[in-house]
Structure 1
Amino acid sequence: MSSAPGPAREPPRYLSKAEAEAIEKELLEDYRFGRQQLIEIWGHACAMAVTKAFPLPSLPRKQPTVLVVCGPAQNGAIGLVCARHLRIFDYEPTIFYPKRSPDPLYQDFTTQCEKMDIPFLSYLPTEVQLINDAYNAVVDAVLGAEAEAAEGREPCAAILSTLKLIRIPIVSLDVPSGWDVEAGSSGGISPDVLVSLSAPKQCARRFLGRQHFVAGRFLPYDVQKKFELNPPEYPGTECVVALRAPRQ
């Protein structure tokens, strides 16, 4: 005899830009998380999401390649950490990081990737080259929730123009580059996979891709309660969970 189903779980809350910034501020100032610590947590979670969306057995064993495109601010640093963990997970990441930050912390993340022999490209391949070079996926770590004004400046403008044209899967970190955090896309890129950091942002309601992951397992319970996040259930020891199952 089957047991009666339990009460339906509340759906996760989708955050405004101000709410997302308030959570990050609280983590840094009240809970004394370091910025390096947060970037490391998020970058590792993003790599885990990539392995779930593109598991090694489903990829060509000789070339499980991922191109990680990094912007100059925090989302780019998260991309660098993601690339390092993908290398540890036996993927073959390549990084395009055209505008390197002078921030010593971000420079350290760059050095870590270089020391692990992860290649850095001096140019972004064209959409044709991306297909011919058989990258399995592209990680969009260009802008995220950061200054939308950068979208129209180089090198971001050229990068987004290319990402809009490619047909291989794109994994966007937190907020797809070129999207408004709240309003969503205005003719920007169309990622196949979205990895929401800490909690989904309002723009994620307009995400129509294949899989949506959230990486918020690390958040202290009091933060979850204060901001009424209604986080999804994370099975076992998982740090990333899919909000949307992959379409067949």
Structure 2
Amino acid sequence: MSFKYLGAKAAAALDKELMSTGAFSIDQLMELAGLSVSQAVFRVHPPTKGRRILIACGPGNNGGDGLVAARHLFQYGYEPTIYYPKRSNNELYKRLAKQLEDLEVPFVQDFPTAAKSTDHILDAVFGFSFSGEVREPFPAVIRAMEQSTVPVTSVDAPSSWNIENGPPQSGLGSSFNPDVLVSLTAPKPLVKHFKGRHFIGGRFVAPAIARKYDFEVPEYTGIDQVVEVTPSGQKL
């Protein structure tokens, strides 16, 4: 089976559908998305490869997924560190950050320095809705991930990439191609430019909604929240 792509407009509409006719709350969707991301990280980088995980979180839903993933990774035995420079005033994000603070997970202010002493990086800065220029303080984050000597896993989209066209043709982010991509719900068109290990995560879409948006829900195994596929979308 080859999985179809879900463009930016369709992905945004699907999110709204899940929270209306699908009867999910944003808290539930973020929890399930973050759980799937944490399982993908565990699959590609088990604790035996190094427990230190640096998680870069943006101010929106992608960052929220990263905060949830960090909590699960802590419970799996990792040592997460959070870079979250633009904290949202939204109560949901405040609660997610508080949960990590209660676990005594450290928050850092200098991502490039922290990136030099970690075993894995989780990129949860920008998701499928990103467009335009990368604004401060995130250019330094993108550069550090481009130059990273440790594996990088991106949530839904490599940060700085356009959902349709992939990486910028030049400049910041043009040479950023993470080792792992976790596509949430369904792959986005940018995966045509991706060369690493590719997972689909988010085990919550009802068949009727999948039919409406014309994409396939992968066959998840057992309690898994992720399915590994080839970069082109073929299930492994």
TM-score computed with the length of structure 1 as normaliser: 0.87
SS of match in other structure, 2:186? coil
Report if aligned partners of 2:130, 2:163 keep a CA contact under 8 Å in 1: no
Query: For residues 188 and 19 of structure 1, what CA distance do their matches in structure 2 show?
Result: 27
What's the Cα RMSD here? 1.5
Which of 135, 140, 147 matches 2:130? 147
Consecutive unaligned residues of structure 1, counting only runs of 5 or more, are 1-9
Deviation at 1:32, TM superposition (A): 1.9
Deviations along 1:208-231, one digit per CA (max 9) or x if unpaired, are 11x100013221111122222123
Query: For residues 191 and 167 of structure 1, what CA distance do their matches in structure 2 show?
Result: 11
Query: For residues 156 and 181 of structure 2, what CA distance do their matches in structure 1 show?
Result: 7
> Counterparts of 1:77-96 in structure 2 under 5 Å?
77-96=64-83
Deviation at 1:17, TM superposition (A): 0.8
Query: For residues 124 and 183 of structure 1, what CA distance do their matches in structure 2 show?
Result: 27
> Counterparts of 1:46-195 in structure 2 under 5 Å?
46-57=37-48, 59-60=49-50, 64-126=51-113, 130-131=115-116, 133=117, 135-149=118-132, 151-186=133-168, 187=174, 189-195=176-182
Query: For residues 68 and 231 of structure 1, what CA distance do their matches in structure 2 show?
Result: 28
Report if aligned partners of 2:32, 2:203 keep a CA contact under 8 Å in 1: no
TM-score computed with the length of structure 2 as normaliser: 0.91
Consecutive unaligned residues of structure 2, counting only runs of 5 or more, are 169-173, 232-236
Aligned residues: 226
Name which of structure 1's ranges 177-186 and 214-223 shifts more when overlaid on structure 2. Answer: 214-223
Report if aligned partners of 2:121, 2:153 keep a CA contact under 8 Å in 1: yes
Query: For residues 49 and 94 of structure 1, what CA distance do their matches in structure 2 show?
Result: 18
Deviation at 1:158, TM superposition (A): 2.1
Q: Which entry has the higher C-alpha Rg, 1 or 2?
A: 1
**In the alignment, residue 127 of structure 2 is paired with which amino acid?**
G
Report if aligned partners of 1:13, 1:231 keep a CA contact under 8 Å in 2: no
